[in-house]
Each structure stands twice: as C-alpha cells, then as structure tokens.
Amino acid sequence: MFHIYCPYCEEYREEEEFHAKGQAHLARPADPEACSDEQWGDYLFFRDNPRGIHHELWVHAIGCRKFFNITRNTVTYDIYETYKIGESPRFTAEHPEGKPDEQVAAEKVAAEAEAVSRQEGVKA
Ligand SMILES: [Zn+2]
C-alpha cells in the first residue's frame, strides 16, 4: 500500500482511491474532419510508452472524483509529482531534476493568461 497526493484534496490518500486513465496531455484535434485517417487513428489508439519519466492522467475515484496528472518514472515506479489539469509538470524527460523555479513561474503565468483569453472568447 502506498499513498498518492491529490492536488485537489491537498492530502495523501491510499492508492486504492485512485485509477490510472492513461497518457496525459493528449489534445483532441481541433478539426477532426481535417485529419487524415492516420492522424485520427494516432489520436485514438496510439500512446507513448517511454522508459523513464511519463505523464499520466489519473482520477481520484473514491474521493473528490476529479482528474489530475501524475509524473511517474516507469522504471522505478516513483511518483515525482501530481498536478492539476491545465498546469505544467515540473519534471519532464528534458528536465529530470525538475525545471528551474523561474521557468515554472513563467509557464504558470502563460497558462493563466491563456485561460483568461479563453474565458473572454466564451463571453464574446
Ligand atoms: Zn481528491
């Protein structure tokens, strides 16, 4: 038994409360009609299977029932971090020791600005 940190509940909970839902950060093509069969098939069926750092979508099924992301090492099974949907991971294949604080802060500002512009687009 081990514990996973839920970024919404803001506490560690037993692993049995969670379910893995596959690869994280999959973006649905904006215009599916414009995709080739190969592009659409890649989106639907093909996933990365890296050795090392991997980002996964998980759900806190017996808890807040919210989806979030986990950065996990597929070799050691270590969980490096959990983060909310829309946030960027600190640990990536390019930054296995973690991104510098300045880069994380800049990405957070950019994500918030994008969220605001999306909201304004909805109102218009
Ligand atoms: Zn939760």
| pLDDT recorded at residue 106 | 87
CA distance 95 to 89: 10
Structural domains for the chain: 3-123 (3.30.2270.10)
The pLDDT, as a whole number, for residue 124 is 53
Tokens of 15: 């692993």
8 Å CB contact between 63 and 13: yes
Which has the closest alpha carbon to 86: 112, 58, 119? 112
State the pLDDT at residue 105: 85
Summary mean pLDDT of the chain:
91
The pLDDT of residue 112: 82
Distance 72 CA to ligand 1 centre (A): 18
pLDDT of residue 122 exceeding 70, the answer is: no
More confident residue, 103 or 124: 103
Percent pLDDT > 90 in the chain is 70
Question: Which protein residues have their CB within 5 A of the ion that is ligand 1?
Answer: 6, 8-9, 60, 63-64
Q: How confident is the model over 46-84, as pLDDT tens digits?
A: 999 999 999 999 999 999 999 999 999 999 999 999 999
